[in-house]
């Protein structure tokens, strides 16, 4: 629960004014390092340990720690370096004033999970990934940063850049899907969106690349579980988005709850010191995840919290989030000779560096400006941006007999448990408490349907109960309509952290409701709201049209109406594979040939196949339809072979062969036919999202460099081996339109 206002009033905190701002000489990197050195020279060991401590202002995202009682006093004593889950100008200003009463007046950092928007809720990150629109995704992060920074926040615990290939894991909602290349592009633009070009502006916050590393490979899709990975998989699939975040200048990293090959990530020297701070020369700092130091004891990796603290600081974990570990343990471990004070000094330096770069030493209250908070929150452009990325995120999975777009005439029966929901459309990890500002599907469709259409409504059933009591009324409503729009899916609290599901089918009796409505013979459009891939085979087989709307945020209902009525031609493509059956999980488009590939699906004897299901998914990575059609033609390759020092241009003509303007995400895949370690049949190596008018043709080009042909060999060397490659261009990983051979020579 937030700091009691009475306590803040009693301590006269709310009257705290901003101290006169002494102009300091320009804070160049050298000046910052000098000032940190001077400060370190004045700090006691306890004050150093205090800078490594982060506590939560309320128990939003994990079990509370024991030291809640005297937290304000700890802050006054300089025993806390950062707070999370404190938000708003008033509270941040008040608590910062407490920190400035400490001997060295070192300002606090305020962090918060601004995962997909602050006041303006954007689509959940997996939804935004489905837009494949880097500019829109970057703008989403920029708006979130503007609003968070206006509310006193210095630091968001985002972007989550974990590649996720197991939809049982609820946290796939927070990431960018299953593909490394797409994930790396999105990691980069999210960091730049949050941070801008340089830290210190009051419309930007520090980013935090998380969860380092390989959390998405958690065994059985169960949260907080172990991860066992080959070095090749770690380096080839899971690390590149983190490296992209480093290259984009991510100010901080967060490690993760999982073990990696037997070692908790928080205690992994390999991850944090060898790779991140060593090989990648990372200058920022690493924060633990909530309690992940303490949890080494539960893992059986440390006998007690003191040993866990020792292992964490030695491994390169700089800040202790809600562990009650570092503050008590480190000042003892140093004189005991178990921890070198240099490790603590390095951690403190990394944290103080960010406080200087943010400008907090010059003006500790610069982010806590009540006037700016009001002004920024009222900016209408923010909802424009939210609506734009929401409609670009929606994926048209099926559209038979052109049931979509809706004509806007006649009677529309809007049915389903999520048709009027606001809270669910916000998804998980929302900062705001008040979801009344969310535009529901009903609101959006009613506003758009206009005078020529009549909107009928029935709920039909709850999202996750077995009652069919509402079916009859829903069927009657459907019979009176010309078309049915059925809004089903997950509720918001079924995806996100600690939301693993052993069965990702549509909950409750929603598919049964669909079948009851289908029996009326009316055209039926299914709209699915969810934070992850779901299994809904009866709907997939029998609906006339299916639109996957994810959790689309504040403007979700309007964005939905934009797509349903054709005001926006859907352009989303799946960033994750949708399985047919649970038994296919984990599943991704990156399949191997195997020694016994399925050549003829009718003859699978002694082949790598299931007896009771095809190997193919329900919907493939990269799948997404449009209200128009596109032709791929005239593939040209500048030369059929290349040396490692050369590049090759691949180009082709893309034509909009339909009657509507539309956007197409052209995907370039590659297959290394023979290599020293077997290679997937397809790897996404590039993509472009283009908008074409009806009838318009455009030449699309890609450059193939050695790097696109390279992979990690058995000795973990990044190599491009001479030989034959296949280039595949398509509209989806299972919809390849053009192919070409390319040879890499010595």
Restricted to residues 599-638, the positions that interact with ligand GLC (CB under 6 A) are: none
Residue 91 interacting with ligand GLC (CB under 6 A): no
For the packed helices 89-99 and 370-377, what is the interaxial angle rounded to 10 degrees? Answer: 150
Contact present, 247 and 217 (Cβ < 8 Å) = no
Cβ closest to ligand GLC, residue 210 vs residue 737: 210
Least distance CB 665 / ligand GLC (angstroms): 28
Residue 162 interacting with ligand GLC (CB under 6 A): no
Residue 363 interacting with ligand GLC (CB under 6 A): no
How far is the C-alpha of 724 from the C-alpha of 143, rounded, in Å? 45
Residue 320 interacting with ligand GLC (CB under 6 A): no
How far is the C-alpha of 65 from the C-alpha of 7, rounded, in Å? 20
Site size toward ligand GLC (CB under 6 A) is: 9
Cβ closest to ligand GLC, residue 128 vs residue 289: 289
What is the per-residue binding string for ligand GLC in 70-89, x denoting contact by CB under 6 A? --------------x-----
Least distance CB 56 / ligand GLC (angstroms): 7
Cβ closest to ligand GLC, residue 265 vs residue 535: 265
Cβ closest to ligand GLC, residue 158 vs residue 419: 158
What is the per-residue binding string for ligand GLC in 210-249, x denoting contact by CB under 6 A? x---------------------------------------
Least distance CB 366 / ligand GLC (angstroms): 24
For the record, the structure tokens of 430 come out as 């929302």
Residue 295 interacting with ligand GLC (CB under 6 A): no
Strands 718-719 and 711-712: antiparallel
Least distance CB 291 / ligand GLC (angstroms): 8
Residue 169 interacting with ligand GLC (CB under 6 A): no
Least distance CB 290 / ligand GLC (angstroms): 4
- Could you give the angle at the alpha carbon of 121 between the alpha carbons of 369 and 422, nearest 5°? 130
Residue 62 interacting with ligand GLC (CB under 6 A): yes
Residue 113 interacting with ligand GLC (CB under 6 A): yes
Cβ closest to ligand GLC, residue 289 vs residue 544: 289
For the record, the structure tokens of 534 come out as 């779901």
What is the per-residue binding string for ligand GLC in 522-551, x denoting contact by CB under 6 A? ------------------------------
Strands 662-672 and 683-692: antiparallel
Of 118, 155, 194, 290, the one binding ligand GLC by CB under 6 A? 290
Contact present, 54 and 322 (Cβ < 8 Å) = yes
How distant, in Å, are the alpha carbons of 137, 210, 228, 265, 392 from that of 262?
A: 35, 19, 8, 9, 41
Cβ closest to ligand GLC, residue 113 vs residue 324: 113
Q: Which residues of 501-515 are buried (b: 16+ CB within 10 A; e: fewer)?
A: beebebbbbbbbbbe
How distant, in Å, are the alpha carbons of 29, 30, 131 from that of 34?
A: 9, 6, 45
Which neighbouring-strand residues pair with 492?
Answer: none
Cβ closest to ligand GLC, residue 210 vs residue 294: 210
Cβ closest to ligand GLC, residue 55 vs residue 181: 55
Contact present, 57 and 113 (Cβ < 8 Å) = no
Least distance CB 433 / ligand GLC (angstroms): 16
Cβ closest to ligand GLC, residue 295 vs residue 672: 295
Of 128, 178, 289, 562, the one binding ligand GLC by CB under 6 A? 289
In eight-state DSSP terms, residue 725 is E
Strands 208-212 and 252-255: parallel
| Residue whose entry in the numeric block shows the structure tokens 């060397």 | 717
**Neighbour-count burial of 458, counting CB atoms closer than 10 A to its CB (0-12 exposed, 13-18 middle, 19+ buried):** buried
Restricted to residues 444-503, the positions that interact with ligand GLC (CB under 6 A) are: 497
Residue 282 interacting with ligand GLC (CB under 6 A): no
Cβ closest to ligand GLC, residue 166 vs residue 289: 289
A 10 A CB-CB count for 250 gives: 26
Phi and psi of 33, rounded to 5°? -60, -40
Residue 61 interacting with ligand GLC (CB under 6 A): yes
Least distance CB 158 / ligand GLC (angstroms): 8
For the record, the structure tokens of 489 come out as 């899916």
Long-range (24+ apart) CB contacts under 8 A made by 466-471 are 466/508, 466/509, 467/509, 468/509, 468/512, 468/513, 468/516, 470/513, 471/512, 471/513, 471/516
Residue 259 interacting with ligand GLC (CB under 6 A): no
Least distance CB 223 / ligand GLC (angstroms): 9
Least distance CB 719 / ligand GLC (angstroms): 35
Please compute Rg for the chain using Cα positions.
Answer: 27
Active-site annotation holds for 289 = yes
In this structure, the chain runs to a length of 746
Residue 565 interacting with ligand GLC (CB under 6 A): no
A 10 A CB-CB count for 423 gives: 16
Contact present, 396 and 526 (Cβ < 8 Å) = no
**Neighbour-count burial of 379, counting CB atoms closer than 10 A to its CB (0-12 exposed, 13-18 middle, 19+ buried):** middle
Contact present, 431 and 547 (Cβ < 8 Å) = no
Least distance CB 521 / ligand GLC (angstroms): 47
Restricted to residues 387-446, the positions that interact with ligand GLC (CB under 6 A) are: none
Q: Which of 133, 289, 320, 324 is catalytic?
A: 289
Q: Which of the residues are catalytic?
A: 289
- Binding stretches for ligand GLC (CB under 6 A): 61-62, 84, 113, 157, 210, 289-290, 497
């Amino acid at each position: 629960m937030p700091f009691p206002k009475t306590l803040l009033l009693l301590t006269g905190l709310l009257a705290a004014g901003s101290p006169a701002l002494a102009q300091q000489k320009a804070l160049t990197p050298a000046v910052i390092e000098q000032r940190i050195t001077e400060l370190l020279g004045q700090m006691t060991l306890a004050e150093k340990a205090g800078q490594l401590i982060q506590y939560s202002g309320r128990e939003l995202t994990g079990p509370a720690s024991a030291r809640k009682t005297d937290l304000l006093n700890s802050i006054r004593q300089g025993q806390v370096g950062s707070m999370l889950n404190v938000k708003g100008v008033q509270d941040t200003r008040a608590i910062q004033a407490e920190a400035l009463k400490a001997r060295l007046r070192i300002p606090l950092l305020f962090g918060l999970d601004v995962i997909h928007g602050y006041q303006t809720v954007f689509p959940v990150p997996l939804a935004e990934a489905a837009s494949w629109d880097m500019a829109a995704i970057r703008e989403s992060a920029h708006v979130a940063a503007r609003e968070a920074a206006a509310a006193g926040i210095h630091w968001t615990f985002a972007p989550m850049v974990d590649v996720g290939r197991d939809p049982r894991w609820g946290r796939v909602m927070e990431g960018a899907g299953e593909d490394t290349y797409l994930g790396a592009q999105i990691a980069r633009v999210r960091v730049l969106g949050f941070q801008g070009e340089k830290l210190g502006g009051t419309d930007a916050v520090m980013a935090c690349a998380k969860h380092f590393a390989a959390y998405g490979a958690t065994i059985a899709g169960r949260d907080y579980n172990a991860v066992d990975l080959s070095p090749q998989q770690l380096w080839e699939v899971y690390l590149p988005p983190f490296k992209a975040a480093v290259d984009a200048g991510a100010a901080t990293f967060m490690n993760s709850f999982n073990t990696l090959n037997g070692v908790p990530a928080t205690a992994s020297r390999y991850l944090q010191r060898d790779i991140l701070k060593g090989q990648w020369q990372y200058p920022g700092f690493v924060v633990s995840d909530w309690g992940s130091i303490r949890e080494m004891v539960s893992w059986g990796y440390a006998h007690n919290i003191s040993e866990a603290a020792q292992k964490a600081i030695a491994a390169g974990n700089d800040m202790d989030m809600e562990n009650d570990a570092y503050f008590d343990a480190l000042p003892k471990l140093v004189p005991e000779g178990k921890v070198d004070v240099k490790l603590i000094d390095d951690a403190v330096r990394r944290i103080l560096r960010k406080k200087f770069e943010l400008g907090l030493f010059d003006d500790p209250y610069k982010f806590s400006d009540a006037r700016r908070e009001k002004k920024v929150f009222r900016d209408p452009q923010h909802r424009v941006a939210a609506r734009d990325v929401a409609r670009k995120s929606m994926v048209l999975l099926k559209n038979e007999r052109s049931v979509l777009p809706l004509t806007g005439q006649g009677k529309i029966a809007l049915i389903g448990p999520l048709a009027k929901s606001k809270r669910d459309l916000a998804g998980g990890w929302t900062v705001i408490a008040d979801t009344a500002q969310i535009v529901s599907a009903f609101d959006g469709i009613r506003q758009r349907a206009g005078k020529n259409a009549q909107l009928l409504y029935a709920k039909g059933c709850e999202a996750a109960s077995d009652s069919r009591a509402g079916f009859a009324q829903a069927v009657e409503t459907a019979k009176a309509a010309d078309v049915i729009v059925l809004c089903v899916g997950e509720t918001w609290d079924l995806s996100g952290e600690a939301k693993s599901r052993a069965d990702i089918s549509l909950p409750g009796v929603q598919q049964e409701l669909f079948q009851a409505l289908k029996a009326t013979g009316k055209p039926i459009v299914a709209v699915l709201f969810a934070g992850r891939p779901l299994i809904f085979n009866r709907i997939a087989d029998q609906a006339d049209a299916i639109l996957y709307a994810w959790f689309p945020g504040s403007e979700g209902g309007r964005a939905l109406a934009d797509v349903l009525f054709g005001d926006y031609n859907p352009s989303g493509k799946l960033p994750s594979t949708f399985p047919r059956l649970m038994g296919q999980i984990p599943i991704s488009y990156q399949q191997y040939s195997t020694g016994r590939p399925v050549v003829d699906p009718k003859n699978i004897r002694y082949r790598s196949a299931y007896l009771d299901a095809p190997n193919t998914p329900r919907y493939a990575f990269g799948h997404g339809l449009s209200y128009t059609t596109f032709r791929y033609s005239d593939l040209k390759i500048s030369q059929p072979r290349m040396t490692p020092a050369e590049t090759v241009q691949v180009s082709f003509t893309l034509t909009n062969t339909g009657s509507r303007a539309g956007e197409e995400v052209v995907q370039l895949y590659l297959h290394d036919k023979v290599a020293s370690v077997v290679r997937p049949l397809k790897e996404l190596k590039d993509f472009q999202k283009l908008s074409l008018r009806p009838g318009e043709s455009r030449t699309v080009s890609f450059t193939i460099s050695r790097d696109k042909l390279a992979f990690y060999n058995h000795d973990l060397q990044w190599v491009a081996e001479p030989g034959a490659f296949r280039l595949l261009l398509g509209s989806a990983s299972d919809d390849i339109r053009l192919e070409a051979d390319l040879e890499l020579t010595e």
